[in-house]
Amino acid sequence: MMETEENLSTIIITLFIMLFSWIFIHRLKQRNSKGPKTWPFLGAAIEQLVNYDRMHDWMVEYLSQSRTVVVPMPFTTYTYVADPANVEHVLRTNFSNYPKGEVYHSYMEVLLGDGIFNADGELWRKQRKTASFEFASKNLRDFSTVVFREYSLKLFDILCQASYSNQEIDMQELLMRMTLDSICLDMANTIVTLRFIDPLWKVKKFFNVGSEAVLDQSIKTIDDFTYSVIKRRKAEIEESEGINKDETRSQSNMTDKSLRDVVLNFVIAGRDTTATTLAWAIHMIMTHKNVADKLYSELKRFEEDRAEEEGISLIKYHKENPESFNQKAMQFAGLLSYDSIGKLYYLHAVITETLRLYPAVPQDPKGILQDDVLPDGTKVKAGGMVTYVPYAMGRMEYNWGPDAASFDPERWLKDGVFQNSSPFKFTAFQAGPRICLGKDSAYLQMKMALAIFVDSTNSSCSQGTKWHTG
């Protein structure tokens, strides 16, 4: 009996020494590594979880040292890239080798389903073709202009009412309401993102505990609302005069689930881009007086020139008549047509510079179908993931020069006219075959809202208002 216990103790001690030696040698090999420190079995999961609340800045630190960073995880390996050449290779040159992939799809399916932002192959191409046709429609463009103007004026009215009553304003919360007010969407987005670095998410999902239980409840709330809208809309169509119900049913080959996925994909994309970017743009304008002054000057010149073109007299604001301020704002908004707003180059530069530093999608992972070699020589293995990082790319001096961290809209202008950059360098709207179809629509909405906001904050409406943008 004593001999058995001694043998067992010897085995345990030997195994402990072997494990300690393995870990020691593993960490010793990483002394000169430019990527996160890893552990056997766990990879860099511990460091990623510790830095979850500062994930994007954490990646900036590593990509500042190396344009490509390899991050092993328990079940896959992420390769993060910030070099435009590598990004172009992934998003365009070898596009077919870098789909969304099964791993990404499994993480996001609960929220995005098989919608355009979570689909590959023929399913993606079909949705892309349909969406391309819709976004190119002049009717949609004209309708969007009217709707964006209307909602921008509603935003303006809320700000004015708050100012008159000396209320505090939470701009980000207000802007989210302007696009879509949904706490459930915020919660679902946060938890789904956590799946990328949480190796135990499938266990939590199986037992319906922790963050996965919260996610499940959020998705149920989102689905209940979305399916009710679909059901109501179908009923309206079938009840319309002159519609043959049987014919309508036979022509529709989309299930309610497919419609739900399509709707949520575009709603989430549009909501996050416009609301988040507008909140950051307002913050940057209000913390950079020189930018605010230049933007206001451009808007005043625009207003005067447009009024002359239309042959109208500009309404003057009178303090003793608050209603004149609303009339003035409505007149200014009416001058913001689809074509004329495109001439506001500095406004466009302000929004683009905001997106460079604070992109709505900070990082975007792609699956790897076959082994490949990136332009910088980095080898990537099938089954892993390559992630380009717009947030970090906008802060890299090797991409934007020594002032990369500075907010400077002038970098986008040449002789006062806006100049585009390579979409593989400025990746806020992705690039290649998957480039964002709603880019122009997003710019239109943001420029409409920001122009009216800036014009109003330089008038009496804003004098009593306290702004919260951070």
Concatenated DSSP letters of 260-299:
HHHHHHHHHHHHHHHHHHHHHHHHHHHT-HHHHHHHHHHH
Q: Determine the pLDDT at residue 28.
A: 58
Please tell me the distance from the alpha carbon of residue 309 to that of residue 329, in angstroms, as a whole number: 18
Region for 69 from its dihedrals, namely left if φ exceeds 0, alpha if ψ lies in -120 to 50, beta otherwise: beta
Q: 350: which residues sit within 8 A by CB, 6+ positions away? A: 281, 284, 285, 291, 295, 409, 450
Find the distance separating the first CA and the last CA of the chain, reported in whole Å.
68
Helix (H, G, I), strand (E, B) or coil at 52: helix
**134 found inside a domain:** yes
Quote the number of domains for the chain.
1
The answer to whether residue 22 sits within a structural domain is no
Residue 242 lies in a domain: yes
| pLDDT (0 to 100) of residue 174 | 74
Paired tokens of 414: 């040449």
User: Is position 147 within any domain?
Assistant: yes
pLDDT averaged per 10 residues, the chain (length 470): 62 67 58 71 80 92 96 90 98 97 88 90 91 79 82 80 75 66 67 81 88 89 84 79 50 77 80 83 94 96 93 80 78 91 97 97 96 98 96 98 98 96 97 94 92 76 46
Residue-level length of the chain? 470
- 14 is a domain residue: no
- The two structure tokens encoding residue 213: 């239980």
Q: Which of 274, 291, 264, 283 is nearest to 429 (CA)?
A: 274
Please, are residues 302 and 309 in contact by the beta-carbon 8 Å criterion?
no
Structure tokens at 85: 């050449």
Backbone angles phi, psi at 52, to 5 degrees: -55, -40
pLDDT given at position 25: 57
Contact criterion met (CB below 8 Å) for 345 and 418: yes
pTM of the model: 0.81
Tell me 314's DSSP state: P
CATH code: domain of residue 230: 1.10.630.10
CB atoms within 10 A of CB 443: 21
Inside any domain, residue 155: yes
pLDDT at 436: 93
The residues, any chain, with a CB within 8 Å of residue 306's CB and separated by 6 or more, are 335, 340
Residue 91 belongs to what domain range? 43-468
| Beta strand residue intervals within 158-254, DSSP E | 168-170
Binding-site residues, in ranges, read: 436
Do the bridges between strand 372-373 and strand 413-414 make them parallel or antiparallel, or are there none, so unpaired? unpaired
User: Considering the domain boundaries, does residue 18 fall inside one?
Assistant: no
**Binding residue numbers for heme:** 436
23 lies in some domain:
no
Q: Within a 10 A sphere around the Cβ of 326, how many other Cβ atoms? A: 17
